[in-house]
Amino acid sequence: MANKTKATAIVATKETKKVATKKVEAKVSAPKKVEKAETQKENSSKKDTALSMDEVMKLFAENKIVIKNPGAKGAYRIMKGGSSLNLRRSQYVIYTTDADYEALEKAKLGDKVTLEKGTNSSDKVRPNVVKIGDTDTLKAALKVYASNSANVAA
């Protein structure tokens, strides 16, 4: 239902310097309902990683991978051998040493892993980037990291 309201506007012109009044009619309609179903569907496709940092730390422990900064706050942990894991909302990103990168290339962990050689060029210790899309692939990758004696306890 549209409501009509009348308003008076005052208009002044430079030439006449007269003040005139003008009647203006405005239509005011009821507010429309905004559906949020589409937005919720889009947001659900940006799924958070399934594990918390505490759960990732348990996986490190299960694989006997030693962490240099176990008490650090946040989502970044450095392995004893130099590679480091960064927990992000939609994936696990591991900045990797050349030795770990070569082992991951040989392991062929599937299509949930993206290997980027030399793309982290600002870091001389960890010049390579490994992006992992799901938890099962992370578990398999951590087994590869555990096979490097530089990452595990002596």
Q: Which residue has 């239509």 as its token pair?
A: 27
E strand or H helix that includes residue 128: strand 128-132
The reported pTM is 0.66
CATH 3.30.230 fits 48-146, yes or no: no
Q: What is the pLDDT of residues 108-149, one digit of tens each?
A: 888 899 999 989 888 889 999 999 999 999 999 999 999 999
Instruction: Tell me which residue of 7, 49, 9 sits closest to 26, measured CA to CA.
Output: 7
Q: What is the pLDDT of residues 65-100, one digit of tens each?
A: 999 998 888 899 999 989 999 999 889 999 999 999
Confidence grade of residue 42 (pLDDT, cut at 50, 70, 90): very low
Pairwise CA distance, residues 60 & 66, whole Å: 7
Residue 10: is its pLDDT beyond 80?
no
Supply 128's token pair: 């390579």
The sign one gets for the Cα dihedral 97, 60, 78, 136 is positive
In this prediction, residue 44 carries a pLDDT of 44
Pairwise CA distance, residues 63 & 43, whole Å: 34
SS3 content of the chain, % helix, strand, coil (to 5): 25, 30, 45
The domains of the chain are located at 48-146
